[in-house]
Amino acid sequence: MSAGFAVNEEARFRDNLAVRLKDCRGRAHDAIRSYRLHGNVVRVFQEVGIVILEPLRIASYLFGHLDGMNESDNLCEVAPELPTEDQALVRAIGRLVEQLRGLWDTRGEWPSYDALIDVGAVGYRLFEEFGVHAQPQPDGQAYINVPFTVDTMPAGSAQADMLRALMGGYRS
């Protein structure tokens, strides 16, 4: 919708997305390693969320802009436009763009806002792919689980060294 008013924004959207995607997995792992020391599940959920959801937000701007500027019916492919090798992010952004395009195609026809739930599910799945699992509880709260992995253990701790040895050694 706004593409016609912001014809020169594509470069800024692309640059912004590249910045947000840079070492996204490493920054998420840093937040989880920090969690291993502080133990605050709300904090780790927020810190990982900022790292992994910001690229989705910026990607929605970029692809909304590209689709809005497109004068043909051929929409651009998502994956070739993404400056990342992280397949979890490529898949998530692809699913997000697919959901948003579907919402756009059916605008005015939604029986309720439940159509937006699928958009949120993209972010929810990405949390799991990055190692933070949230399970809804009957009281409306969530149980947050952050499973131990070699990549998310603080370096130098005896537990981390033991886990690394059991899982096949250090990764570079």
The mean predicted confidence, pLDDT, of the chain is: 87
SS3 10: helix
> Over the stretch 41-74, which tens digit does the pLDDT of each residue have?
999 999 999 999 999 999 999 999 998 888 666 6
DSSP helix/strand/coil, 109: coil
- pTM of the entire predicted model: 0.82
- Residue-wise pLDDT tens digits, 71-126: 666 667 887 888 889 999 999 999 999 999 999 999 999 888 888 999 999 999 99
C-alpha torsion sign, points 90, 92, 96, 102? positive
CA angle 88/89/91 to nearest 5° reads 65
Q: Which residue has the tokens 């492919």?
A: 77
Arithmetic mean of pLDDT, 139-153: 91
Q: What is the DSSP letter of 154?
A: P
Kindly report each contact of residues 137-143 with a partner whose C-beta sits within 8 Å and lies 24 or more positions away, as own/partner: none
Neighbours of 13 (CB within 10 A): 19
Residue type (1 letter), 158? A
